[in-house]
Structure 1
Amino acid sequence: MATAEQHYILERPSFDKPVKLLIVVAPYYKDIADNLVAGAKAEIEAVGAGWDIVEVPGALEVPTAIGLAERLSNYDGFVALGCVIRGETTHYDTVCNDSSRALQLMGLQGVCIGNGILTVENRKQADVRADVKDQNKGGGAAAAALHLVALCRKWGRQSKDVGFKPSPDSFRIADEQSRPKKV
């Protein structure tokens, strides 16, 4: 059983400039989501950071909301929260795999995301993982986001400038190739 396992937990990062995270939560299972959010808020506040929260309908919408916020707002990082409990169909696999994959791809592009979307077999597993006094996966997701923000600041780059950016010449060359030639 996972509750008997001992895990090493990194020390909380410290920040010399303000940090603000966006918590994006899918409250499909409201009581579980509320516990995840409570854990995340406590962890964020423990380092003196600020947070905002938005709700989306389900786990598949969490990455989309984070992607929109990354492009249209000014958050340092994001905490993805929700719960997917296995049901009778393969929809569980789609939701788990696609939401996780989308978050991972954004992370690889430099977005600081802590993934706290629970993927469990039953309600009992979800309750244990969401409980602030037990596994506290909401707090763990917030801690992950904060550690990634600290790494970005340590390495001195702005998150908005991360990822593939075509050179200005590539637009000029493509534009020239698409114009009709004068004869």
Structure 2
Amino acid sequence: MAGISHYVLARPSFDKPVKLLIVVSPYYKEIADDLVAGATAEIEAAGGNWELVEVPGALEIPTAIGIADRQANFDGYVALGCVIRGETTHYETVCNDSSRAIQLLGLQGLCIGNGILTVENEAQAIVRAAPDQQNKGGGAAAAALHLIALSRKWGAQTKGIGFRPQGEEIRIAEKSSGSTTA
């Protein structure tokens, strides 16, 4: 596959600031630090702000994102960590379950960039995490930023689309005429 290039979308721009939560598992500390460096640089380049929280492992990342979504106020999330294949099937469990949980949160409307590396060995992880190489942390942040931009674009379209519930026209007419009824 040498010579095949990857297309990268242009960085989105925002009318009002964005705030992201980076949730990282520092199980492999040096790799996690590189992922975070790439993610924070991408968020800052887009004019965004970020907070960082650490959790014990990849399986706890989606749970932390779910808690933050219910109890805090973030526009999006960046999931960062690394799972390196070992001698048991635990690798498949961690990879599949963390990825599936993040995907389910995304399908519920959360804007999440998934930067949890799933690799065969440490050498692969180092290349993928390094900001001056594959920069998967920056890529995960970029994905979250693009989803936030889409959410804001489509979230603003609330009038004139689809059908209104019965009686809605009366309430809208009363609001526009200034009359109020109890």
Please tell me the TM-score bracket, short chain as reference: 0.7 to 0.9
Aligned-partner residue type, residue 16 of structure 1? D
| Separation in structure 2 between the aligned mates of residue 88 and residue 6 of structure 1, nearest angstrom | 33
The structural deviation recorded for 1:156 is 1.7
Aligned-partner residue type, residue 42 of structure 1? A
Aligned to 1:11: 10
> After the TM superposition, which segments of 4 or more aligned residues of structure 1 sit over 4 Å from their partners?
none
C-alpha deviations, 1:108-150, integer Å up to 9, x for none? 0100000000000000000000010000000000000000000
| Separation in structure 2 between the aligned mates of residue 97 and residue 71 of structure 1, nearest angstrom | 24
Q: Residues 97-108 of structure 1 correspond to what in structure 2 (within 5 A)?
A: 97-108=96-107
Superposition RMSD on alpha carbons, in Å?
Answer: 1.3
Aligned to 2:131: 132
Aligned to 2:27: 28
Q: Give aligned-pair identity as a percent.
A: 78
SS at structure 1 position matched to 2:30 = helix
SS at structure 2 position matched to 1:33 = helix
The count of corresponding residues between Structure 1 and Structure 2 is 157
Asked whether 1:47 is paired with 2:49, we answer no
TM-score, normalised with respect to structure 2? 0.84
Aligned-partner residue type, residue 104 of structure 2? L
Asked whether 1:65 is paired with 2:64, we answer yes
SS at structure 2 position matched to 1:155 = helix
The structural deviation recorded for 1:157 is 5.4
Aligned-partner residue type, residue 17 of structure 2? P
Aligned-partner residue type, residue 34 of structure 1? D
| Separation in structure 1 between the aligned mates of residue 93 and residue 4 of structure 2, nearest angstrom | 29
| Separation in structure 2 between the aligned mates of residue 71 and residue 140 of structure 1, nearest angstrom | 25
| Separation in structure 1 between the aligned mates of residue 114 and residue 134 of structure 2, nearest angstrom | 14
| Separation in structure 2 between the aligned mates of residue 142 and residue 109 of structure 1, nearest angstrom | 19
| Separation in structure 2 between the aligned mates of residue 5 and residue 65 of structure 1, nearest angstrom | 36
SS at structure 1 position matched to 2:127 = helix
C-alpha deviations, 1:143-175, integer Å up to 9, x for none? 0000000000000259xxxxxxxxxxxxxxxxx
Aligned-partner residue type, residue 129 of structure 1? R
The structural deviation recorded for 1:6 is 1.2
Aligned-partner residue type, residue 53 of structure 2? V
What runs of 5+ residues in structure 2 fail to find an aligned partner?
Answer: 158-182
| Separation in structure 2 between the aligned mates of residue 106 and residue 157 of structure 1, nearest angstrom | 21
Aligned-partner residue type, residue 62 of structure 2? P
C-alpha deviations, 1:4-62, integer Å up to 9, x for none? 54100000000001100000000000000000000000000001000000000000000
TM-score, normalised with respect to structure 1? 0.84
Aligned to 2:173: none
